[in-house]
Amino acid sequence: MDISSHDVLIIGGGGAGLRAAIAVAEVNPRLNVAVISKVYPMRSHTVSAEGGAAAVIKTGDTLDDHAYDTISGGDWLCDQDAVEAFVQEAPEELLRLEHWGCPWSRDPDGHIAVRAFGGMKKERTWFAADKTGFHMLHTLFQTTLKYTAIARYDEWFVTKLLVDDNRVQGVVAIEIMSGKIQAITAKAVILCTGGCGRVFPFTTNANIKNGDGMALAYRAGAPLKDMEFVQYHPTGLPFTGILITEAARAEGGYMLNKDGYRYLQDYNLGTPQPKPVLRSMELGPRDRLCQAFVKEMEKGRTIKGPYGDVVHLDVRHLGEKLINTKLPFVRELCLKYQNIDPVKELIPVRPVVHYMMGGVSTNIHGATPLAGLYAAGEVACVSINGANRLGSNSLPELLVFGARAGRAAAEFASTQKESNGIILSQALDETKRVEAQFLEKTGGRERIATLREEMQKAMENGAGIYRTHSSLAEAAAKLRELQERFPSITLDDRSRTFNTELTAAVELGFMLDVGEAIVQSALHRTESRGAHQRTDYPKRDDEKFLAHTLIYRNADGSTHGDYLPVTITRWPPGERVYGQPAQAAQAKGG
Amino acid sequence: MAETIKLEVTRYAPERHQAPTSQSFEVPYRKDWVVLDALNYIKDNLDGSLSYRWSCRMGICGSCGMMVNGEPKLTCATFLSKYAPGPVRVEPLRYFPVVRDLIIEMTDFMAKLRSVKPWIIREEEKPLSEGEYLQTPEQLDTYKQFSMCINCMLCYAACPVYGLDPLFSGPAAIALAQRYNLDSRDQGAEERMGILSQHAGIWGCTFVGECTRVCPKHVDPAGAIQQYKLTAAKEWFKSLLMPWGAK
Ligand SMILES: Cc1cc2nc3c(=O)[nH]c(=O)nc-3n(C[C@H](O)[C@H](O)[C@H](O)COP(=O)(O)OP(=O)(O)OC[C@H]3O[C@@H](n4cnc5c(N)ncnc54)[C@H](O)[C@@H]3O)c2cc1C
Ligand code: SF4
Ligand code: FES
C-alpha cells in the first residue's frame, strides 16, 4: 500500500481549512503541512456565502456589543469565553484578509464598509458586494499558492481516521481520479469539512455537505456536541434550496399564504403595514418565521407544489426598477436557476435547512478530546453559535478558529514522534472494507438514492422545525432501519476511475450516522431553546439544560450521551425577546 | 403521460472503452429543470455510473462546466427548456483531456493559475495594527470585474488558441494576473509581466473574443488579454529605445 506522511494534515479546503493551513505554515515553516479535499479547494461551499462577515471595526461599536448579540442570539447556549476570544480576534482576521487582497466593499473614503445584519444591533458586517464567501475563499486559496510548504491532495476523499494509542495518527483516503486507496499519516489532523445540510431534503447546502468530518470523528470515538441545533432559513426556493436573502423582505416583500393573505399577522409578529417595519411581520426572526410556516401548513393554508408545500414571497409591488437596483441577485437567482421572474411572478418559498450549530466538540483552541485531532469551521462546535447562529458570524468563525486550530495543531505536531506501524494494518483493513462493501460486492439491491431520500424525509418529518418525542422516536426507528439496509446497497459503477457513486455511498453512510446523532440529541433535550423547538416541552429549562449535549458512539453502533455545563463569564442568562417588548426592554435597560 | 426529453451523454471509462461514445437517456422534461438536474435524474434513477462534477447548483463553485449542444455552459445555469424538444447533447469541456464520462483533467489549468502569482506582492507589508490599506470604490472598480472569475474553464473550452497550443496561459489565468496588477495594494505587475510574455501564446490571441462571450460571470478575459498585450508592447518598445549597453 502507498503511504505518505505529514506533520499536520488538514481535511477540507474551505475557509476554515485554508486559514488553518496558512497558520501552520506561519507558526513553523519547517513543518510539513498538507490540505486534502474532496473537491478543488475553491469549489468548497464557503464560496456560496453571500451576506457578509461580522467584526467590530467602526467607532461606536464595541466588542461587548458583538459578544452580547451573539450570546443572546444563541439563547445563552454559547460558551462565553469562546465568544470573547471570537469577537476579539475577528477584526484582525478580517483585516489580514484585506492585506491578502480580499476585495472588501469600501466607503467613499477608502475605508472598509459595513452593513446591518439580522440580530446584530450595530452595523458591523463586512461584505464584498453580495459574494462575500466567494471572495474570501478565492483570496485565501490564491494566498495559499504562495506558500510552497503547503502540499495539496485535490479530489481526495477521506473515509476513515486512523487511531492508535488513543491518538489520531492519520487517515485513509481515496484518490478519486485513480481510485487508489491509501494511508496518509500525520502527527496532527485538523477536520475542516464543513456542515451537513444534505441530511435534510431541502437545504441551501451544496452536494458536498454531508457531515463527513462529524461522522469521521464520531466513529473514531470523539464526541459530537449540540447536534440537535439545526438552523432553518425561512425563504429558500423549493427543490433547489437556493437561498433568497433577507434583503427581499427588508425591501418590503410580503409573505403570502394560498389565499394571498399576509399570514404572519396571526402569529404574534405584529400587524401588517404597507412598508416594512423592523422586527415585525416579515422582518421577525428566522426561527419564528419558519415556525409560522409549519402552523400554516397544519391549517392547510399553504400551497401544494411539485416539491411539497410552499408559501409565496411577493415582491411584485416593489416594481422592476427597485428590484433591479436593490435586489439584482434575487432576480438573477430566480431567473437563472428556477426559471421564474419575480418582477411578474410570485416566488415559491419554504423553510430550508441552512446551517449546523452543532459539531465535533472542541475547546477554544480547536482541540477535540481525542489527542491529535482538531476541528474548525462549521464541522466544529466550539461553541460560539449556541442554540442559534447569527447571520455573518460563521465566516469570521472560520478564520478565527481555523487559525487557532492551525496554531494548536502545529504546536502539538512539533512534540510528536512519527506514527507507529500498527495503523498501517488498520489502513489495510479499511481498504479491504471499501473494496468488499462497495467495489467488489455481489448481491444486494438497495439504491443509494432511495435510502438517501428516505433518510431525508425521516429527518424532516421527525427532527424538523418542530419536534416531539413521538416524531423523534419515529425518525430514530427509521434511521435504524436504514442503517440495517445500508449494507445491501449495490453500485452500478465498479470502475476505479472517478467513481462518484462510490463516494456518494460512503457519504450516505456518514449522513446516516450524523442523522442519528441529531435525532438522539434532540430526543434527550426535553426543552425548547433557539432552533430546537419541542412542542411537548415548549419552555426553555435553564435548571436542567443550560448545558451542551455530548453524544458518543459506542463500538457496537449504539450511542451514549452526556452534558457539559455552559461557560458563563459576564452575561447571565436572560430572555430572548423580539418585536415591541425588545425595544421597550432596551429603552429601559439602556 | 408526463413529457420527456432525450439527453445524449458522452460515456467513457478508460478500463472499458477505447474512445468516448455517446449514450441516450430519456428524462422527465420540466420547466424548472436545468441540464444538471437531468444528469442527477439519470444518476439517481437510471444509471449510477454516470460521472460528472457538481456541487453548489447556484453558479458559483465553478464545477459543472460541460459542452451543451456544442457550447461551453454551466450546466446548473442552463435550462432544459432552452433546448426543447431536444435532444440535448452533453459532452465534456472541449480541449481538455477526458478522464471519465463528463470529467476532464484540470491539473494543467490549476498550474496555470498558480504560475501568474495570484497573490498580493509588495516590497513592504504594513503591520495589521496600522489597519487596512485604503482603497476607494473607484480603485476597487478598476479590477473588480477580473476578480469575479469562478474558474469554470468555459473560456478555455471556447479558446481557439488554447485548442492549438496547450502551453498558452489562457484567458482566466491572464485575467487573474490582471486582477492583481490593477489592485492598488499590489506591486507585482512587473514580475507577472515577465512570466506571461515568456510564452508566445499571448501573441497568438487574435481577439476573437469567444472567451468573453461564453464567460458566465462577465469577467471579460479578452479585455484582460488586450490590456496585457498593450502593456507588453509598450515595454518592448521602451526597451528598443534604451541606449545600447545599458541594463
Ligand atoms: C447559501 C449560504 C449562504 C451563507 N451565507 C453566509 C453569510 O453571509 N455569512 C456567514 O457568516 N455565513 C454564511 N453561511 C455559512 C458559511 O458559509 C459556512 O458555514 C462556511 O462557509 C463553512 O466553511 P467551512 O470551511 O467550515 O466548510 P466548507 O467551505 O464547506 O468546506 C468543506 C471542505 O471539506 C472538504 N471535505 C468534506 N468532506 C471531505 C472528505 N470526506 N474528504 C476530503 N475532503 C472533504 C470539502 O472538499 C471542502 O473543501 C452561508 C451558508 C450558505 C450555505
Ligand atoms: S474567465 Fe469566465 S469563463 Fe473563464 S474561467 Fe473565469 S468565470 Fe469561467
Ligand atoms: S454546480 Fe456549482 S457552478 Fe454549477
Whether the CB-CB separation of B81 and A339 falls below 8 Å is answered with yes
All three cell numbers of A367, joined, read: 482541540
**What is the pLDDT, as a whole number, of residue A68?**
94
Could you give phi then psi for residue A479, rounded to 5 degrees?
-65, -40
Whether the CB-CB separation of A11 and A36 falls below 8 Å is answered with yes
> How many residues are listed for chain B in this entry?
247
Q: Where are the beta strands (DSSP E) in A357-397?
A: 359-361, 373-375, 380-381
What is the SS3 assignment for A356? strand
Interchain contact, A498 vs B144, CB within 8 Å: no
Interchain contact, A449 vs B119, CB within 8 Å: no
Of A47, A7, A49, nearest to A27 by C-alpha is A7
- Residue A133 CA, closest ligand 1 atom number: 17
**What is the pLDDT, as a whole number, of residue A325?**
81
Report the helix count and the strand count for chain A, using DSSP H and E. 16, 22
Give CA A465 to chain center in angstroms.
16
What is the SS3 assignment for A9? strand
> What is the rounded distance in angstroms from the CA atom of residue A41 to the CA atom of residue A155?
9
Listed by start position, the domains of chain B span 4-104, 107-241
Nearest alpha carbon, ligand 1 atom 6: A49
**What is the pLDDT, as a whole number, of residue A590?**
29
List CB contacts (< 8 A) between A177 and chain B: 99
Strands A167-175 and A156-164: antiparallel
Whether the CB-CB separation of A423 and A169 falls below 8 Å is answered with yes
Interchain contact, A145 vs B114, CB within 8 Å: yes
A389 annotated active-site: no
pLDDT, tens digit, 9 for 90 and up, residues B17-58: 999 999 999 999 998 899 999 999 999 999 999 999 999 999
Q: Quick one: closest CA in B to A341, which residue?
A: B32
| Least Cα separation, residue B49 to chain A (angstroms) | 4
Report the helix count and the strand count for chain B, using DSSP H and E. 10, 7
Report the percent of chain B where pLDDT is more than 70: 94
All three cell numbers of A517, joined, read: 446523532
Number of the ligand closest to the Cα of B34: 3
All three cell numbers of A80, joined, read: 462565553
> What is the rounded distance in angstroms from the CA atom of residue B6 to the CA atom of residue B24?
7
Confidence tier at B167 by pLDDT (50, 70, 90): confident
Evaluated on CA atoms A298, A303, A305, A310, the torsion sign reads negative
**What is the pLDDT, as a whole number, of residue B84?**
92
* Biggest distance spanned by C-alpha atoms of chain B: 82
Of B168, B177, B240, nearest to B199 by C-alpha is B168
> How many residues are listed for chain A in this entry?
590
A233 annotated active-site: yes
Evaluated on CA atoms A534, A535, A536, A542, the torsion sign reads positive
**Residue A71: DSSP 8-state:** H
**What is the pLDDT, as a whole number, of residue A262?**
96
Of B183, B173, B172, nearest to B217 by C-alpha is B172
**What is the pLDDT, as a whole number, of residue B244?**
66
**What is the pLDDT, as a whole number, of residue B200?**
60
pLDDT, tens digit, 9 for 90 and up, residues B67-124: 999 999 999 999 999 999 989 999 999 999 999 999 999 999 999 999 999 999 999 9
Contacts of B111 (CB under 8 A, 6+ apart): none
**What is the pLDDT, as a whole number, of residue A588?**
33
Q: Quick one: closest CA in A to B49, which residue?
A: A493
Strand partners, A373: A189
Whether the CB-CB separation of A528 and A534 falls below 8 Å is answered with yes
Please tell me chain B's helix, strand, coil percentages from 3-state DSSP, rounded to the nearest 5.
40, 15, 45
Check if B4-104 and B107-241 are the same fold.
Answer: no
Q: Quick one: closest CA in A to B45, which residue?
A: A449
Reply yes or no on whether the pLDDT at B246 is more than 60.
no
What stretches in chain A show pLDDT beneath 70? Answer: 576-590
Interface test with A, best of B40, B55, B134 (most A CBs within 10 A): B55
Distances (CA, A) of A32 to A25, A144, A150, A257, A409: 8, 14, 7, 57, 12
CB pairs under 8 A between A and B: 166
Q: Hey, what's the torsion of the CAs at A365, A370, A372, A377, to 10 degrees?
A: -50
Give the angle subtended at the CA of A224 by the CAs of A447 and A120, to the nearest 5°.
105
Q: In terms of DSSP H, where are the helices of A100-233?
A: 132-144, 212-219
Does B11 contact A at CB distance below 8 Å? no
Model-level pTM?
Answer: 0.96
> What is the rounded distance in angstroms from the CA atom of residue A520 to the CA atom of residue A480?
11
> What residue type is A389 in one-letter code?
R
Give CA B50 to chain center in angstroms.
23
Distances (CA, A) of A362 to A217, A359, A373, A404, B104: 11, 9, 9, 11, 39
What does A251-297 look like in DSSP terms, one character per residue?
Answer: TT-EEE-TTS--GGGGGTS----SS--TTSGGGS-HHHHHHHHHHHH
Distances (CA, A) of B52 to A12, A214, A497, A581, B75: 20, 26, 12, 53, 11
Interchain contact, A501 vs B147, CB within 8 Å: no
> What is the rounded distance in angstroms from the CA atom of residue B113 to the CA atom of residue A335?
31
Whether the CB-CB separation of B61 and A212 falls below 8 Å is answered with no
**Domain spanning B4-104 has what CATH number?**
3.10.20.30
Does B56 contact A at CB distance below 8 Å? yes
**What is the pLDDT, as a whole number, of residue A582?**
44
Give the angle subtended at the CA of A269 by the CAs of A268 and A274, to the nearest 5°.
135
Interchain contact, B32 vs A154, CB within 8 Å: no
CATH superfamily of B107-241: Alpha-helical ferredoxin (1.10.1060.10)
Instruction: Tell me, using a 6 A CB cutoff, whether residue B182 lines ligand 2.
Output: no
Cβ under 8 Å to A: B residues 200-239: none
In the set A167, A233, A286, A331, the catalytic residue is: A233
pLDDT, tens digit, 9 for 90 and up, residues A281-290: 888 878 889 9
